[in-house]
């Protein structure tokens, strides 16, 4: 076989195999939207956040760099299917519908959705969900589907609207244009630390699992991400990310409990509104996450940002 024949044969094989998987490239494109604290796009366009740094850490070990590209949230799955982006690492929930369309990693975080209201709102969780009040959800998010399908069932009754950004929704709450907004708990705690809003309680939706997502045509990148997430969880940087972005997260441990969290770093004010005379119960100011939380009474048990870890 002469040189020309060999070259033609190699070219034929290359065409048959198609393009190399995205992970083999030097750079992969991550589609993100503002979903504090998992993904944050600053005024200068620079990306930060829990997922952003986690993906960059994985890339540093796997040999690729990451370009973070803002994408409108309700089109982000289609952008991945159309290969306009290579991955979604932006506080992205696993759902059955999404699993049929795109490939999802193993879950790396579990969250629940909460109701956020203005600080001076007297509306309770039950009143918000059953009294016909106005509630907003993010367009294209799983909680939007959950709130829509549950409305009118089991005594739930509210007026539902959608928003494009959390900034818009929070501004509408503060301005009195809507009564509450539904968002994931870490985002709510982060936002409540700096604005005139508070968490009113659980939104009554199933717990969500956060994952990274890739195109189904890219199993090699999916494997790399799963390997990277496993390695990251075993590395001290995993705790560093939690301390940096999820410090101060509060979880509900028992049905009927409603916790208010104000402040993210470095002090956290916690109040148990399920106790008798709760409206006059003093706020506990907590200087740090571990030692100070252990000093709280048993009735004030919390879990910190580490899944499955309970501190008293």
Tokens at 127, concatenated? 């009143």
63 within 8 A of 224, measured Cβ to Cβ: no
Task: State pLDDT tens for residues 211-220.
Answer: 999 999 999 9
Which position has the higher pLDDT, 40 or 262? 40
What's 46's domain CATH number?
3.40.190.10
Instruction: Please say if the pLDDT value at position 301 is more than 50.
Output: no
Average pLDDT (284-306) is 30
Q: Do 24 and 137 share a structural domain?
A: no
Q: What is the dihedral of CA 286, 288, 294, 299, to 10 degrees?
A: 30
Task: State pLDDT tens for residues 50-66.
Answer: 999 999 999 999 999 99
pLDDT of residue 21: 44
Q: Do 215 and 107 share a structural domain?
A: yes
Task: State pLDDT tens for residues 125-135.
Answer: 999 999 999 99
Q: Do 255 and 196 share a structural domain?
A: no
Q: Got the DSSP string for 111-140?
A: E-EEEEEETT----HHHHHHS-EEEEEETT
CB burial of residue 134 (10 Å; 0-12, 13-18, 19+): middle
Please name which of 235, 85, 151, 3 lies closest in space to residue 161, comparing C-alpha atoms: 151
CA 64 to CA 172: how far, in whole Å? Answer: 41
DSSP class of residue 20 equals P
Instruction: Please say if the pLDDT value at position 6 is more than 50.
Output: no
Three-class DSSP category at 64: coil
Q: Do 233 and 106 share a structural domain?
A: yes
Instruction: Please say if the pLDDT value at position 252 is more than 70.
Output: no
Domain that holds residue 297: 249-312
Query: Structural domain tally of the chain?
Result: 3
Task: State pLDDT tens for residues 103-112.
Answer: 999 999 999 9
pLDDT of residue 127: 97
Average pLDDT (126-146) is 93
Q: Do 102 and 12 share a structural domain?
A: yes
């Amino acid at each position: 076989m002469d040189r020309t024949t060999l070259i033609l044969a190699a070219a034929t094989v290359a065409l048959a195999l198609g393009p190399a998987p995205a992970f083999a490239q030097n750079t992969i494109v991550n589609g993100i939207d503002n979903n504090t604290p998992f993904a944050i796009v600053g005024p200068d366009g620079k990306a930060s956040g829990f997922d952003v740094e986690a993906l960059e850490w994985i890339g540093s070990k796997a040999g690729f760099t990451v370009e973070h590209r803002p994408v409108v949230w309700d089109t982000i799955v289609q952008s991945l299917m159309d290969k306009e982006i290579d991955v979604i690492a932006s506080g992205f929930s696993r759902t059955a519908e999404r699993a049929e369309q795109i490939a999802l990693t193993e879950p790396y975080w579990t969250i629940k959705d909460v109701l956020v209201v203005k600080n001076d709102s007297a509306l309770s969780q039950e009143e918000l969900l059953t009294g016909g009040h106005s509630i907003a959800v993010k367009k294209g998010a799983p909680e939007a589907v959950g709130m829509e399908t549950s409305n009118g069932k089991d005594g739930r009754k509210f007026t539902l609207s959608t928003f494009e950004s959390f900034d818009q929704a929070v501004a509408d709450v503060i301005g009195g244009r809507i009564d509450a907004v539904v968002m994931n708990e870490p985002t709510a705690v982060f936002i409540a630390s700096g604005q005139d809003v508070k968490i009113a309680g659980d939104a009554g939706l199933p717990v969500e699992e956060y994952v990274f997502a890739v195109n189904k045509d890219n199993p090699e990148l999916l494997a790399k991400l799963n390997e990277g997430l496993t390695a990251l969880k075993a590395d001290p940087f995993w705790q560093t990310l939690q301390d940096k972005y999820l410090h101060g997260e509060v979880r509900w441990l028992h049905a009927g409990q409603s916790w208010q969290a104000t402040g993210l770093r470095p002090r956290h004010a916690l109040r148990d509104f399920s106790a008798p005379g709760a409206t006059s119960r003093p706020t506990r100011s907590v200087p740090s996450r571990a030692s100070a939380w252990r000093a709280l009474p048993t009735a004030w048990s919390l879990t910190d940002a580490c899944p499955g870890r309970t501190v008293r």
